[in-house]
Structure 1
Amino acid sequence: MTDRSPERPQEEPKPSASPTRSRPEPEVEQPAPKRVRSNADDKGRGKRLFGNLLGTLQKFKTEDKSSRVTEAAKRREELSERITKKLQSETALNHDIQETDRELKTLRIATETAEAIWRQKEIALSSRHALLKPTAHFLHTALPLPHPPAFETNLLNPAPIPLSAGPTRDPPVKSDLPPLYFLPKILMPHQDDLIKSQVANIDELISEEVAALAAEREQIRTTAKENKKRMEELSAKLSELRKQVKTSKDKDRDLKGGGTEKSESGLKTDELGRAPREEMMEVDDDKSKEDKSRGDKVKDVRDEKEKGVKIEGDEGDIEVEY
């Protein structure tokens, strides 16, 4: 029989006090082996990725182009709306200015014409009354046949006593003699009554015409006062409208000036690099002035150098001296 010694309990290892001994590293799990792909799968996958990338780029390009087209269309539409509104406002403003100016001129012409006609009528009536008053105390022969005058006018009513009507359009006829005024030394009763009735009629006619002329004068004054008041309103309105037009033009000029840039030559240019004609003309004027001043300076320097120059002859005599 074999002697079996009693098993001794295994003693736990004591931790070493020496710092040189390191702890055992934990075991790292090894990754699972990757599946080996074939070259055909890799090529197909690359083609798919490349196709997806191209499709995405094309999509972005199309969206960007459509968005740019949409934004440009919106800007064009907004610009067109602004231009349309501006043109409509300018057209309405110019129409108001024209209508106001036309009404103002019409009122001024009507007022001046009415006053001029009244003055002519007053002068004509004064002349006729000066002829009718002494003529009413005379008798006259038969009236001549009526002939159309050379200048027809409705300025005055026909006189009850024949007066000089001026030249006629038709040639004169010998049988149509002008009236002859006479006053017998001794009047018959019917002649005396005729003269008295003529004087009374002429006095009544003169008083009526003077009253009608005064009433017409008063009416013309009232109308002229109303017209002048209306003309003042129209003048104020016209000046206000013209101020609005000037303000809009100044704004447009400021906007155009704000959008310009200065080029290397110092000219103000627009977005397309074009310089206004006024700027070009100013530059040309400046260049011509500079050239002229430079030429004047050169001439002055040459004159200074030539001062005191002496040209001597062979024997030392002075021939020319500046």
Structure 2
Amino acid sequence: MFAAAAVAAGVMSGIGAGSAAAADPIMTGKALLGDPTAPDGSKIAKAEYRDDRNIRLYVYSAAMDQKVQIDVQRPADASVPRPTLYLLNGAGGGQDAASWQARTDALQFLSDKNVNVVQPVGGKWSYYTDWIKDDPELGRNKWKTFFTEELPPLIDGALGANGVNAIAGLSTSGTTVLALPIAKPGLYKAAAAFSGCAQTSDPVGSQFVKLTVETWGGGDTENMWGPVGSADWVANDPYVHADGLRGLDLYISSGNGLPGPHDTLDNQYGPPGAFGLANQLLIGGVIEAGTNYCTHNLQNRLNQLGIPATFDFQPNGTHSWGYWRDQLPKSWPTLAHGLGL
């Protein structure tokens, strides 16, 4: 563990004197508010002050025996305890160039909101779930434990958050942000899932998982949940356990895979060049058509269970950042309601 003085000593230079940070005891005092430890011994190993609104934490996860980078944007007004939005990246875990920070203006949109924005960096190709075995390629993954048991008490204690949480994610994390509230009832008050597939254990959903973990990530899904169709595949399926979403503020969206306004050459949110556009249209089109199928199924499931949710089915659009960038502001009223803002 580190003391507040040690954190202050390690502060990076260049702290601004912005008006928003002036009311923030962490940014003005250059020290976290506490040195908490999670029940299993997880702790904050290091903190870096990056500018007048942003901190980078390195959190030691006891479950995974590794340090995880956590990027935090502080609330516009942090003079009183504020809620927390956990903003998850896609399949690459933010370890690649495909992240909210690198590909969108999400932090700028959230900069005037009274919310701690927490972005974990790590867990590529893991589906942010607890794996039953270590994987030769992807290592030890206990992300469900990290997000439900380890990280929240550290964020609340060190940043003075008020314990009210929401979670949002895209693509593979669009599955995760539905699975985690089911795994830990009451931890999250709202969830926004963009272009995710809630069903993981049926033939279609399991192929999505295998494509991500094995084809792209080089891992083995048997180390994740065992053989396809086994009990762990079903246990981690938000569609099967959708009743656990009752009481959350829910926002769920998908395109249909057909070209839309962001599927143009050198779009500012897309990959560059003709090859990048072709990849977005072909691969992104197929993936989004699949998530559209899953999302309609989830809508039917929630309707059957009498669970209200806001669904946004775009008339066109592929599996790509321009559409997720558009969806975050559209989902904000739902997230804000759950956060009490």
TM-score band, normalised by the shorter chain?
under 0.3
TM-score by length of 1: 0.17
TM-score by length of 2: 0.16
Kindly indicate which of the two structures has a greater share of residues assigned to helix. 1
Kindly indicate which of the two structures has a greater share of residues assigned to strand. 2
Name which one, 1 or 2, has greater alpha-carbon Rg: 1
